Amino acid sequence: MIELYFAPTPNGWKITIMLEECGLPYRVVPLNIASGEQFEDAFLRISPNARMPAIIDTEAEGGPLSLFESGAILMYLAEKTGQFMPRERRGFYDVSQWLFWQMANLGPMGGQASHFVNYADTADNQYAKNRYLKEYDRLLGVMDYALRDKPFLAGEYSIADMACFPWLLPYKRYGFDLNNFPDLKRWYDTLKQRPALRRGVDVGKDLRPAPGTLDDNARNMLFNQDSSRYKPG
């Protein structure tokens, strides 16, 4: 059984997509990040970064195994099941480079775009909003270019595609039209037809607060974190 510590975000949906695609049994353990549950010692022992997703594989070889960071979790689940990650060297690194690209580029830039579009005060964030929306646009172009001559990012459907797909879900909210990226749109529409992927992105949608509904305490907990969160008392 996989215990999945989860918040309904693109990083969380990466893992639920993979779990659904692999058919692995899992149990969702939601944490209320707006109230600070991610800084409780019990969770920090699993995820020192105080971020989700994180997992405990209760049936891992050698005893229960905990992991944090979505990229590492995807690689672990792929190895555990022998699915969605090539075993041969060239294919392994082809998938790996796109997974790491998502972790270093599409995820961080999409996350910052989301923050400045959905949560930051409008009075003083226009530069930041423009900065991250332009970078998000560039990254959509990267994917569109890469998909011109292949159906999926690494040739065959893999954890790289699962990692990237959730970060495209808010594209309309950011003012983008996928018709401007025809090969990316073809990829996006293809993935949307996968029943397991649809089940994965449906997990926890009812747990996500709508933009604009956070009170001051929740905003402070989410957006004003520093090292003091790790100090006793």
- CATH assignment at residue 115: 1.20.1050.10
> What value does the mean pLDDT take over residues 183-210?
91
How are beta strands 26-30 and 2-6 bridged, if at all? Answer: parallel
Banded model confidence at residue 206, pLDDT cuts 50, 70, 90 = confident
What's the confidence (pLDDT) of residue 220?
65
Report pLDDT digits (tens) over 15-53.
999 999 999 999 999 887 777 788 888 889 999 998 999
Question: Does the structure show a pLDDT above 70 at 120?
Answer: yes
Banded model confidence at residue 230, pLDDT cuts 50, 70, 90 = confident
Q: In terms of domains, do 57 and 146 share one?
A: no
Q: Maximum Cα–Cα distance for the chain, whole Å?
A: 56
Total number of domains in the chain: 2
Q: CB-hemisphere CA count at 13 Å for 109?
A: 20
C-beta of residue 48 within 8 angstroms of C-beta of residue 68: yes
Q: In terms of domains, do 28 and 105 share one?
A: no
Q: In residues, how long is the chain?
A: 233
Q: Which neighbouring-strand residues pair with 29?
A: 5
C-beta of residue 20 within 8 angstroms of C-beta of residue 74: no
Kindly report the backbone phi and psi dihedral angles of residue 6, in degrees, each rounded to the nearest multiple of 5, phi listed first: -140, 140
Average pLDDT of the chain is: 90
Q: In terms of domains, do 58 and 119 share one?
A: no
Report pLDDT digits (tens) over 53-90.
999 999 999 999 999 999 999 999 999 999 999 999 99
Question: Does the structure show a pLDDT above 90 at 125?
Answer: no
Q: Which residues contact 91 (CB under 8 A, 6 or more apart)?
A: 154, 155, 156
Q: In terms of domains, do 23 and 74 share one?
A: yes
What's the confidence (pLDDT) of residue 131?
92
Domain of residue 117: give its range: 89-195
What is the pTM (predicted TM-score) of this model?
A: 0.91
What's the confidence (pLDDT) of residue 197?
98
The lowest-confidence range among 25-29, 56-60, 118-122, 174-178 is 118-122
Question: Does the structure show a pLDDT above 70 at 222?
Answer: no
Residue type for 165, please? F
Cα angle value 40/43/49 (rounded, 5°): 95
Question: Does the structure show a pLDDT above 70 at 211?
Answer: no
CATH code, domain carrying 17 = 3.40.30.10
Q: In terms of domains, do 161 and 109 share one?
A: yes
